[in-house]
Amino acid sequence: MAKPAVIFGGPSDEHDISILTGLQVTRALGDVHAVYWAKVGDWYEVDSSLEAADFADGVPRKSRELTFVAAPGQGLIAKKRPLDIDAVLIACHGGPGEDGTLQGLLDVAGIRYSGPGQAASALGMDKLAFGAAMAAAGLPTLPRTLVTTGTEPAPAFPGPFIVKPRFGGSSIGIEIAEDWPTVLALRGGSSFFDQGAVVEPFLTESRDLQVAVRTYPKWELSAIEAPIRAAAGGIYSYDQKYLAWGGEVGSARELPAALEPGMEEEIRRLSARVTEVAGLRGMTRIDFLERDGEIVVNEVNTIPGSMAAYLWIDPPLSREQLFGDMVDEARSGPVRVFSVAGADGTALRSAGTIASKLG
């Protein structure tokens, strides 16, 4: 019988964290195919009762090898037979599992999946493009500039600056620089900026506000949280988010965040617009920055850690409910349908020989 599959891991900096999310989802959903995407890119079906530590030294024992065939009716193949999958819940953070690559692959294989499609996934992962899309739609956001060569002139906005890898979902590689020469030096010294860095003003007296939205069974907003930064002026780090606190659930935060009148409505309004402009689907976390009552859109995380399930406290929604709804949304239809309208052979019949085109 067809069952959902949960895909986690993947060749990403966040491979390990993705295993944690994947196992949580697998456990909550119960009867699923647990599909582990290894660091080097291999596919395996694993026992869904495994613990995180079983993955610490690589592929767990007794994993069943799968191959991915990107053709209709194929998909994940175990010993020549496709796994009988009715939908995929993607639990990959960062890298090709979140940036649209896997989504595109599943589109080609004709497999339905959770979360945004290939284009929205790619947009969410590209901080430069996402910021530009927000600005173009008239949403409040910070100015962002791109640094690739490390020789760029200083931007119009003054320091201090926050420097982030252009692509990448977590806080890995984020740095704060007092002045422009420091930014350029950072660009050269960190492998996280190989594909370019985006630079924006660092708002010292600001706070983060994060909210999850989901698009099924209807568009909904979770409670709003304010993560607590490690040190005054510091940023919310990867270690803080995941390592020291035993997962996002245990991180230091204010939930729900104390908000001044009108702020929640503003966040709700902006979140709805972000969903629309970016083409979000499934369960997404949107991060805002707030200073002196002014709220700007910062970034989206289309596959947030633990799926941001801990944010759904009012009314409380169980993990089973949240992840089950994601599967149902995935089952309900493909994100993208390829169109072949117009490819009816007319152009081919009237084309003549290829040789004549080369002349």
d(CA 70, CA 359): 36
With CB under 8 A as the contact rule, which of the stretches 58-66, 198-206, 312-320, 345-353 interacts with other proteins?
58-66
Q: Which of 241, 226, 220 is nearest to 316 (CA)?
A: 220
Q: Binding to other proteins by residue 129, rule CB under 8 A?
A: no
Minimal distance, residue 34 CB to other proteins, in Å = 18
Minimal distance, residue 299 CB to other proteins, in Å = 24
Minimal distance, residue 211 CB to other proteins, in Å = 34
Tokens representing 64 are 């069943």
Instruction: Name the residue nearer to other proteins (CB basis): 42 or 328.
Output: 42
Per-residue binder mask for other proteins (CB under 8 A), 3-32, x = binder: --------x---------------------
Q: Binding to other proteins by residue 58, rule CB under 8 A?
A: yes
* Residue list 163-202, contact with other proteins (CB under 8 A): 191
With CB under 8 A as the contact rule, which of the stretches 55-63, 131-139, 294-302, 331-339 interacts with other proteins?
55-63
Compute the C-alpha angle 328/332/333, nearest 5°. Answer: 135
Q: Which of 343, 355, 351, 330 is nearest to 110 (CA)?
A: 330
Instruction: Name the residue nearer to other proteins (CB basis): 11 or 334.
Output: 11
* # residues near other proteins by CB under 8 A: 11
Among 3, 27, 39, 229, binds other proteins (CB under 8 A): 39
Per-residue binder mask for other proteins (CB under 8 A), 250-269, x = binder: --------------------
Among 3, 16, 27, 38, binds other proteins (CB under 8 A): 38
CB 134 within 8 A of CB 275: no
Residue 331's φ and ψ, nearest 5 degrees, are -65, -30
With CB under 8 A as the contact rule, which of the stretches 24-32, 53-61, 124-132, 279-287 interacts with other proteins?
53-61
Minimal distance, residue 18 CB to other proteins, in Å = 14
Tokens representing 173 are 């590689």
Residue 300's φ and ψ, nearest 5 degrees, are -120, 155
Tokens representing 66 are 């799968």
* Residue list 281-340, contact with other proteins (CB under 8 A): none
d(CA 353, CA 357): 7
d(CA 312, CA 318): 8
Q: Which of 7, 41, 11, 37 is nearest to 21 (CA)?
A: 7
Among 59, 105, 146, 230, binds other proteins (CB under 8 A): 59
Q: Binding to other proteins by residue 354, rule CB under 8 A?
A: no
Minimal distance, residue 15 CB to other proteins, in Å = 9
For the packed helices 263-278 and 127-136, what is the interaxial angle rounded to 10 degrees?
A: 110
Among 16, 42, 152, 264, binds other proteins (CB under 8 A): 42
Question: Which residues contact other proteins by CB under 8 A?
Answer: 11, 38-42, 57-59, 61, 191
